[in-house]
Chains A and B, each alone.
Chain A
Amino acid sequence: MGWALSNIFLFPGLLFLACFGLLAEFVDRKLYARLQNRVGPPWYQPEADFIKLLAKEDIIPAEADHRMFKILPIVALVSVVTAFLYIPLWSSRALFSFDGDIIVVIYLLTLPTLTFFLAGWYSTSLFAAVGAVRALTQLFAYEVPFLVGLLSPAIVAGTWSLSGMAEFYRIHPLYWTANLLGFGVCLIALQGKLEKVPFDIPEAETEIVGGTLTEYSGRLLAFFRMAIDMELVVGSALLSAVFLPFGLGLPAALGFVLFVVKVSLIVVLLAILRAVVARLRIDQMVEFCWKYLAPAALLQLAIDLAIKGVLLR
């Protein structure tokens, strides 16, 4: 019981995820800045932003629903942390696992997007409402390729449990190289889930001011931003667990370093994607996801079905 609590709240749960999330935000912002020929923030900037926001006043619009306004950042935070507990990090066993937990993790990762939608909707602000509807529209576009891309390696592994999948790929090395198309698909879909350029349409600053989080300030905004940072790490960890499941048999310290390297690699790829393209319009994004991303995910599914049928007979 004591172990479980310290695992959930300290390592590798809430506290570790918070620190890693802030570090990932720094890496993302620094790389983005350097690619733009700028200096970029110092390493403690995300921590400083978090502390600054905590110290500011929470202003809630008079017509907004106060209770929902306050609960939603907590829901976002909690769902992201809970998803993290089921992802195998540096060994093939996650903290908790059961058959079917990959579906639960994907579901838990859609909850933050739902909270963004509700946050924008309950803000009763015009810009927030437009942003909220866009967030939901975007969800319908990237979620199917994301789901299909993540479930294809599971079909090869023959199990719906993330830890089971990691174990399978540990026993059968090199099978993960067949899933690299799915890795690409899920990387782009993850950029949509994290709402970063080219998919930061719900929070398009130059169009709808702040998007879904326009009316948020102070502590509530601090928790939302912390949830977003954690989502970056959890999404990257999920991708690395499903698509880069090598080196899982290494001793603990080395495995931890490898895990940090893998997650950082994904964060770096997402930051580079952020820097080199412009923001898409919502109709262009939906068209892109359904025209190119979904078929690519289905192609990956076909490849994995073939592998399962032919090679693993």
Chain B
Amino acid sequence: MGEVTVPIGPQHPALKEPESFDITLEGERVVRMVAKMGYNHRGIEKACEQRTYIQCLYLIERICGICSHSHSTAFVQCVEEVAGLQVPKRAVYIRTLIGELERIHSHLLWLGVAGHEIGFDTLLMYTWRDRETVLDLLAMLTGNRVNYGINTIGGVRRDVTAEQVAEIRKGVALLEERTKYYQQVAIEEATLAKRLGGVGSLSHEDAVRLGAIGPTGRASQVDRDVRRDDPYAAYGEMSFQVVTDTHCDVYGRTLVRVGELIESCKIIRQVLDNLPQGPITVRAPRRIPVGEAVIRYEAPRGEDVHYLRGNGTDKPERMKVRAPTLANVQAVAKMLEGNYLADVPLVIAAIDPCFSCTDRMIVARDAGGRKTGVMDWKSLRDYSVDWYKKNRGLDCSRIKLRA
């Protein structure tokens, strides 16, 4: 069939969010991949500059549905560091609790999605049924299943009662039992091992060179975890293991995430056992002084970096987010080399992509001699109409846009 270019995206059943991967195939083997990002860019960083810190918090929580607490906690910690606030220990522990519950939520969701990508819908249904347990716990604690709204500058907004603690223990015990079952499935189910093994290989050297982090990197023996290397929140007082694996492929990433599920259950139990008494918030000033802070947070997908610059007013001067998927997506092109078309959705799903987190504006200062410029709205639209005419054979010029 010669060389064919298959567009995976921006709309494709394999992708949960729009992102464009143009795969060039020879027969069924992948020869080249070109990734185009930016479909989920919403101008959040710019919007944050025009909102007060509390309004920013609402916005930043909604960068992503499933890493919501990661972004919100990282931002709040940035502000607290710039303002020099001492957050009460109980609040810190509650933040850790919600963070680990979010990690369990995210990894169970990923297991289901991975199952669905390889046609194993039974695994999808089972893991998502178990995910309901964790969603119910989060709804009980925070009032919402995603976008928890538990953080405020200076602490948390809701307290945890003794009955809730008992419920959490029950839920976590159930989840641990189900996770052990999935560990067994991952090891014993032959078709699963066949589809996941040897697919999307990323050697340790390539992982370090391309900057893979989080479970993607840890499956290639990149032994980095911000919770251990640069402890924040209550992680300095918790004892847990960082799960790494030597498989360097999608199977390894699956094992790492399932292992992290067990570790999260352990951490949650330690948090509940050692939950200190005390207030849950400290009064935060409206105007945050001049200063900058960089906070790293271990989101379910890897290291999430937040930067904040305050200028003494009640609105941030500049706020920047580097989501983990941005680091991992660079490695996807390397992972796909020599793989089959059938593996492409799986490999893309195996880095647990969250494109909503990732899409930011990048200004290229030194474009290697090529021209750079800024387009206004009309010329941008003309450019896009021309592109679609030339590359997809579609004529969108007569579509009227609402002003």
Q: Give the interface SS of chain B, mostly helix, strand, loop or mixed.
A: helix
How far, in whole Å, are A130 and B342 apart by their CA atoms in the complex? Answer: 11
Which residue on chain B has the smallest CB distance to residue A281? B342
**How far, in Å, is A305 (CB) from chain B's closest CB?**
32
**How far, in Å, is B362 (CB) from chain A's closest CB?**
30
Indicate whether A277 reaches chain B with its CB closer than 8 angstroms: yes
How far, in whole Å, are A72 and B344 apart by their CA atoms in the complex? Answer: 31
Indicate whether B210 reaches chain A with its CB closer than 8 angstroms: no
Contact A209 B191 (CB under 8 A): no
* 1/0 contact string of B368-399 vs chain A (CB within 8 Å): 00000000000000000000000000000000
Task: Specify which chain A residues have a CB less than 8 angstroms from the CB of B13 in the assembled complex.
Answer: 205-206, 209
Select B341's contact among A130, A197, A198, A279, beta carbons within 8 Å.
A130
Contact B125 A133 (CB under 8 A): no
If A281-B340, A281-B342 touch, whether A127 touches B6 (CB-CB below 8 Å) is yes
Contact B119 A276 (CB under 8 A): no
If A37-B125, A37-B126 touch, whether A278 touches B119 (CB-CB below 8 Å) is yes
Task: Specify which chain A residues have a CB less than 8 angstroms from the CB of B12 in the assembled complex.
Answer: 209
How far, in whole Å, are A37 and B130 apart by their CA atoms in the complex? Answer: 11
A197-213 interface (Cβ within 8 A of B): 197-198, 200-201, 204-209
Indicate whether B39 reaches chain A with its CB closer than 8 angstroms: no
Which residue on chain B has the smallest CB distance to residue A288? B194
If A277-B191, A280-B191, A280-B195 touch, whether A200 touches B119 (CB-CB below 8 Å) is yes
How far, in whole Å, are A198 and B120 apart by their CA atoms in the complex? Answer: 9
Contact A198 B191 (CB under 8 A): yes
How far, in whole Å, are A38 and B128 apart by their CA atoms in the complex? Answer: 11
Which residue on chain B has the smallest CB distance to residue A283? B340
**How far, in Å, is A89 (CB) from chain B's closest CB?**
33
Contact A206 B345 (CB under 8 A): yes
Contact B121 A277 (CB under 8 A): no
* 1/0 contact string of A26-38 vs chain B (CB within 8 Å): 0000000001111
Which stretch from B110-118, B216-224, B259-267 is at the chain A interface? Answer: B110-118
Indicate whether B238 reaches chain A with its CB closer than 8 angstroms: no
* 1/0 contact string of A279-304 vs chain B (CB within 8 Å): 11111100000000000000000000
Task: Specify which chain A residues have a CB less than 8 angstroms from the CB of B28 in the assembled complex.
Answer: 130, 282-283
Select B119's contact among A35, A279, A282, beta carbons within 8 Å.
A279
Task: Specify which chain A residues have a CB less than 8 angstroms from the CB of B144 in the assembled complex.
Answer: none
Task: Specify which chain A residues have a CB less than 8 angstroms from the CB of B1 in the assembled complex.
Answer: 129, 133
Contact A276 B342 (CB under 8 A): no
Task: Specify which chain A residues have a CB less than 8 angstroms from the CB of B115 in the assembled complex.
Answer: 278
How far, in whole Å, are A209 and B6 apart by their CA atoms in the complex? Answer: 11
Contact B122 A281 (CB under 8 A): no
If A37-B125, A127-B6, A133-B1 touch, whether A278 touches B342 (CB-CB below 8 Å) is no
**How far, in Å, is A76 (CB) from chain B's closest CB?**
23
Indicate whether B225 reaches chain A with its CB closer than 8 angstroms: no
Select A207's contact among B125, B129, B189, B344, beta carbons within 8 Å.
B344
If A275-B122, A276-B122 touch, whether A284 touches B194 (CB-CB below 8 Å) is yes
Indicate whether B343 reaches chain A with its CB closer than 8 angstroms: yes
How far, in whole Å, are A36 and B129 apart by their CA atoms in the complex? Answer: 10
If A130-B341, A207-B341, A284-B194 touch, whether A278 touches B129 (CB-CB below 8 Å) is no
Contact B126 A204 (CB under 8 A): no
Contact B118 A279 (CB under 8 A): yes
Contact B122 A204 (CB under 8 A): no
B1-29 interface (Cβ within 8 A of A): 1, 4, 6-7, 12-14, 28
Task: Specify which chain B residues have a CB less than 8 angstroms from the CB of A282 in the assembled complex.
Answer: 28, 340, 342
If A38-B125, A278-B195 touch, whether A207 touches B342 (CB-CB below 8 Å) is yes
Q: Which of B115, B122, B189, B194 has the most CB of A within 10 A?
A: B122
Indicate whether B242 reaches chain A with its CB closer than 8 angstroms: no
* 1/0 contact string of B88-106 vs chain A (CB within 8 Å): 0000000000000000000
How far, in whole Å, are A281 and B345 apart by their CA atoms in the complex? Answer: 13
Indicate whether A126 reaches chain B with its CB closer than 8 angstroms: yes
**How far, in Å, is B293 (CB) from chain A's closest CB?**
41
* 1/0 contact string of B192-206 vs chain A (CB within 8 Å): 101100000000000
Contact A279 B195 (CB under 8 A): yes
* 1/0 contact string of B119-146 vs chain A (CB within 8 Å): 1111101100100000000000000000
Contact A278 B6 (CB under 8 A): no
How far, in whole Å, are A275 and B125 apart by their CA atoms in the complex? Answer: 11
Contact B116 A206 (CB under 8 A): yes
How far, in whole Å, are A293 and B387 apart by their CA atoms in the complex? Answer: 50
B interface vs A, CB < 8 Å?
A: 1, 4, 6-7, 12-14, 28, 115-123, 125-126, 129, 189-192, 194-195, 340-345
Sample (5) of A-B pairs whose CB atoms are under 8 Å apart:
A37-B125, A126-B7, A205-B119, A206-B14, A208-B341
Q: A133-B1, A204-B119, A283-B340 are in contact. List 14 more A-B contacts (CB 8 A).
A: A35-B122, A126-B7, A200-B119, A206-B14, A208-B341, A209-B12, A277-B189, A278-B115, A278-B118, A278-B194, A279-B118, A281-B340, A282-B342, A284-B194
10 nearest A-B residue pairs (beta carbon): A279-B119, A278-B120, A36-B125, A278-B191, A277-B191, A206-B14, A278-B118, A281-B342, A206-B117, A206-B345
